[in-house]
Chain A
């Protein structure tokens, strides 16, 4: 088992190196002068030349590549023209917000969608199934940013149920920074008021972010449950008198979860990408918003930093999903 994790970590590092190479090539191959890109749209000629030497852009490509790698190891991800800070500092500042949002959304999606999928399979073609199907089908077609705006329109602007955006109300002090995750920190320090406020602020963005995931996980789980329930070992379990609840909740579900996990992993990826849209609408101070602001400003280095960070995030998430596979399916354990 440990061997497997080690092997996968090596693979991640390898893929990461590949990603870095691709990023490097994209930034150098891009039309236009990379030095100009790094200097920003309002730079003077002298500033561009300073950039050129500072980033070693006058040296041959291979040396640049090596320098880029060395820089990465030292944590040098470049500098943001817009915020005037190092990209690394910016990422550290903004990542916890995105992490909290995406993890919360994923948990929400999984906790709601999997039981719902089971219920839809068991009560097939009844009212619940039809309603769920309408949501599932529309869930993947609904533009996240539009859903966000519509919910803002009705819940925040028309009727003042939930806040319009941000992580905390303007009057609320953020909780003591332990994990930098507001929900966790406020619970850890017993700060009930901050917890409530953080919760009220995260509900809407998390719901929007998780909506497409909810939709697809319900569909997949339902389909897998229906398929597994036709399998022979279910007939066998029934023949031995095993109760219906156990058959559905254990015998069938554990098998159905295996392909469902694939979908969970995929949707987490889309969630990470979706932060670009959701954080923009809700003014959520995460790296998605950071990336968008950088892109609009033509600030290239931060975008690369965000890409790298989310790439790592996604790969680690996939590794975790693989471990979950191992926990579910004994046949893949000893690879």
Chain B
């Protein structure tokens, strides 16, 4: 992955969240790249900061109490963090679109599907080349719903969100996301709120659309299996940092970060006859008073002295494989490793 072919670059993103009890350091220097036609999955436990990263890309975070402390998000070179509301209208839905988690709460309950989709479509048209009439927009909406495999779209478009099932509503959200013909599709836990059988349908739909329209995809999930079925690359997040960034094959063949290994071990295997379920001891850290150094070190079986002092950065250990862990620095003694890591800090 080289600089030229990446269209979205997140660099060293640091986000804080002010609460009554203190300031939670929610994202602590998150970095990754997304190329054209690339499919990247962001995986991690609930609360690790993946949703916040997604919302930050589209500027959807509520600015107090959230604060973007430092970092960049560049889309085709332009820094998204410094955009005005007017400039955002060009990007949102038009070039970067988002599919949300719970289709019930993410659709306006008092407006019909038609109204909501037509508003979105006409809005995009206004920002591109002029205007679109309501009936044209309606036809386009029906076409999009058809592409999302909704049955009888011409009839059902007049209905309200509460009259649809969960899976159908998610198809509506997907259709809305496609309306602007975006380059990048961000899917924030698109199947979490759905039944398992519907999950499979929606995932198939997403894959089909990606193959058809060649979007770049950022898929966020806590489920490794879902990410594996859709994405080529994967980033594992823990407590606000990306700890491993590589391809799907390599993550299963040679998982490197201790957290990743723990995750893979924790997935129950129906065919295996092994005994107990293996978890990772401990729990996610307090974001207001996070551990010094590597945030995973309190739970890590291989924690060394340097891990408690210095934060490891993502280092490339193989082709398209980066890990943030001192275990993988080329064979240097403890102290020297620590010094090298500190001297490399920007």
Residues of chain A whose beta carbon lies under 8 Å from any beta carbon of chain B:
230-233, 235-244, 246, 250-251, 254-255, 258, 328-331
Contact = CB atoms under 8 A, between A and B. Distances in A.
Interface string B74-106: 000000000001001101111001101010011
B109 A244 contact: no
B44 interface: no
Contacts of B88: 241
A239 B108 contact: no
B85 A330 contact: no
Contact of B108 (A237, A258, A328): A237
Given A233-B109, A255-B108, A241 B127 contact: yes
B107 interface: yes
Contacts of A329: 109-110
Given A231-B105, A232-B105, A246-B119, A239 B110 contact: no
Interface string B17-51: 00000000000000000000000000000000000
Contact of A241 (B109, B116, B160, B180): B180
Contacts, number: 80
Contacts of B111: 250-251, 254
B110 A328 contact: yes
A251 B92 contact: no
B120 interface: yes
Contacts of A239: 58, 60, 92-93, 97-98, 100
Nearest to B115: A250
Contacts of A240: 92-93, 97, 120, 123, 176-177, 179-180
B162 A232 contact: no
10 contacts: A235-B60, A236-B108, A237-B108, A238-B60, A239-B97, A240-B97, A240-B179, A255-B108, A331-B160, A331-B162
Given A239-B98, A240-B120, A241-B120, A233 B107 contact: yes
Contacts of B162: 330-331
B164 to A, nearest CB: 12
Interface of B: 55, 58, 60, 62, 85, 88-89, 91-94, 97-98, 100, 102, 105-112, 116, 119-120, 123-124, 127, 160, 162, 173, 176-177, 179-180
A242 B108 CA distance: 13
A126 to B, nearest CB: 15
A195 to B, nearest CB: 38
B109 A255 contact: yes
Nearest to B159: A330
A233 B119 CA distance: 14
A233 B108 contact: yes
A279 to B, nearest CB: 39
A102 to B, nearest CB: 29
B110 A255 contact: yes
Contacts of A328: 110
Contacts of B180: 240-241
A250 B123 CA distance: 14
A93 B91 CA distance: 64
A232 B89 contact: no
Given A232-B106, A233-B105, A244-B85, 12 more contacts: A232-B102, A235-B106, A236-B98, A236-B108, A239-B98, A240-B123, A240-B180, A241-B92, A241-B124, A241-B127, A241-B180, A330-B160
B127 to A, nearest CB: 7
B77 to A, nearest CB: 21
A39 B16 CA distance: 78
Contacts of A251: 108, 111
A332 B93 CA distance: 31
Contacts of B173: 236
Nearest to B98: A239
A235 B102 CA distance: 12
Nearest to A232: B105
Contacts of B123: 240-243
Nearest to A239: B98
Most chain B CB within a 10 A radius of its CB, from A232, A238, A239, A244: A239
Nearest to B107: A233
A237 B89 CA distance: 11
B59 to A, nearest CB: 8
Contact of B106 (A236, A254, A330): A236
Given A235-B60, A236-B100, A239-B93, A254 B110 contact: yes
B131 to A, nearest CB: 14
A103 to B, nearest CB: 27
A258 B109 CA distance: 12
A119 B92 CA distance: 25
A241 B92 CA distance: 5
Most chain A CB within a 10 A radius of its CB, from B98, B108, B123, B127: B108
Contacts of A236: 98, 100, 106-108, 173
A242 B109 contact: no
Most chain B CB within a 10 A radius of its CB, from A240, A243, A331: A240
A259 B218 CA distance: 38
Nearest to B85: A244
A242 B88 CA distance: 10
A233 B106 CA distance: 4
Contacts of B127: 241
B143 to A, nearest CB: 17
Contacts of B58: 238-239
A230 B60 CA distance: 11
A51 B185 CA distance: 84
Contacts of B102: 232
Nearest to A252: B108
Contacts of A243: 89, 123
Contacts of B98: 236, 239
B100 to A, nearest CB: 6
Nearest to B121: A240
A232 B177 CA distance: 15
B110 A241 contact: no
Contacts of B112: 330
A247 B40 CA distance: 31
A242 B58 CA distance: 13
Contacts of A330: 109-110, 112, 160, 162
